Chains A and B, each alone.
Chain A
């Protein structure tokens, strides 16, 4: 049986190599051992690559000695991408608050943070029912912010171009979803839609009861 199993496995492996074998270039990086599944160990090729990358990394570190001021914002944004809870969105909003204080004198950064804030508030109100493009826009605004903050020498015109671009996307998004982005419950000149819904529901259930009674009496009548 063991021989049979080995035969099939080796036949299968050969077939897989026939079908997909040409892709070995990239895959030579694999540190896999055939005998039994092993935890990953860096192959020589990969450790060489790592070594080669070291000076580059050091250079990057030199250019960016400090952590990005957007690091926490990015982290909570990615969490939002995964889970839309009050806690996660709250973290994102409090991070925006901190950044708004920090960048209060930079008009473009401040306005992008305001866009983020509006989006987060909208998402908080809608949670999983938020428009599927919501997070896409949050990511896009983040990219704009990241570009500006990563380039301290960027001119005001360049910053404005980025901010205006994001604002346009935001406006288009607002149009897509209607008035909901303001986060307000649907109201028409002081009329509470929820109250109307309740009345209609009550009326409907009364109507249903009456109809059932009528049908029953018709059956009895027969």
Chain B
């Protein structure tokens, strides 16, 4: 849950980038960090143990500034995608306020996307939360691979596989080129803060 400090008028929001391994979650955060380093007043921390794989998590704090008198701080996390790191994923999901599900558009990754979304659902259930109640944005990443002649899943297929029931906002994207990376993030922040404001009476 978001941390709110009524005295200091501070709200801290946690948004987690979730999805299958090698799907581009870290690349999303890296893009945001590189592009807006000067403005976001935070520093990206990547906890890695071996090689170039995320074995623990990436963390990027972003200071949004004052909205209606409240200082809004957003913390972005990524989780390791590989199945074997479910304990870490669960840990990072604890107290999540919003989710960006980064799906891999490659045809060969179709099953992994579905499994990962199921895994997200299961992990949220373990915290007694429903996937339908958490603000979520879907991102269909790696669309740039189409230019390389690599077979991609059609947007319709991805929507059908992942978003048929969720009916969440979704974006085609390329974390590598930056296409829709910021739009995805903005939508996630906007949805998450909007979902919190009623509970926290942010407006009142």
B and A form one assembly: yes
**A23 engages B146 (CB within 8 Å):** no
Q: In whole Å, how far is B166's beta carbon from the nearest beta carbon of chain A?
A: 9
A106 at the A/B interface (Cβ < 8 Å)? no
Candidates B168, B170, B183, B190; contact of A27 at CB < 8 Å: B183
Q: In whole Å, how far is B115's beta carbon from the nearest beta carbon of chain A?
A: 7
**B203 engages A40 (CB within 8 Å):** no
Q: How far apart sit A30 and B194, CA to CA, in the bound complex (Å)? A: 21
Candidates A4, A9, A26; contact of B177 at CB < 8 Å: A26
**B194 engages A53 (CB within 8 Å):** no
| CB 8 Å contact bits of B55-90 with A (1 = contact, 0 = none) | 100000000110110001000000001111000000
Q: How far apart sit A131 and B55, CA to CA, in the bound complex (Å)? A: 13
A209 at the A/B interface (Cβ < 8 Å)? no
B202 at the A/B interface (Cβ < 8 Å)? yes
A64 at the A/B interface (Cβ < 8 Å)? yes
A94 at the A/B interface (Cβ < 8 Å)? no
Candidates A11, A46, A57, A81; contact of B172 at CB < 8 Å: A46
Q: In whole Å, how far is B145's beta carbon from the nearest beta carbon of chain A?
A: 12
Q: How many residues of A contact B (CB 8 A)?
A: 45
A132 at the A/B interface (Cβ < 8 Å)? yes
* CB neighbours of A132 from chain B (8 A): 49-51, 53, 55
**A20 engages B155 (CB within 8 Å):** no
Q: How far apart sit A40 and B170, CA to CA, in the bound complex (Å)? A: 6
Q: Which residue of A lies closest to B148 (CB)?
A: A60
Question: Which residues 53-102 of A sit at the B interface, judged by CB distance below 8 A?
Answer: 53, 56-57, 60, 64, 74-75, 78-79, 81-84
A128 at the A/B interface (Cβ < 8 Å)? yes
A215 at the A/B interface (Cβ < 8 Å)? no
| Most chain B CB atoms below 10 A, which of A17, A37, A56, A136 | A37
**B172 engages A1 (CB within 8 Å):** no
Q: How far apart sit A1 and B199, CA to CA, in the bound complex (Å)? A: 12
Q: How far apart sit A59 and B146, CA to CA, in the bound complex (Å)? A: 13
Q: How far apart sit A15 and B73, CA to CA, in the bound complex (Å)? A: 13
The 4 A-B pairs with the shortest beta carbon distances in the complex, nearest first, are: A4-B203, A132-B50, A37-B169, A60-B149
Q: Which residues of chain A have a CB within 8 Å of any CB of chain B?
A: 1, 4-5, 7-9, 11-13, 15-17, 19-20, 23, 26-27, 29-32, 37-40, 42, 46, 53, 56-57, 60, 64, 74-75, 78-79, 81-84, 128, 131-133, 136
For this complex, 19 residue pairs linking A to B, each with C-beta atoms less than 8 Å apart, are A1-B203, A8-B194, A8-B197, A11-B67, A12-B64, A13-B186, A17-B186, A19-B36, A19-B65, A27-B182, A27-B183, A31-B172, A32-B169, A57-B149, A82-B81, A82-B112, A84-B83, A132-B50, A136-B53
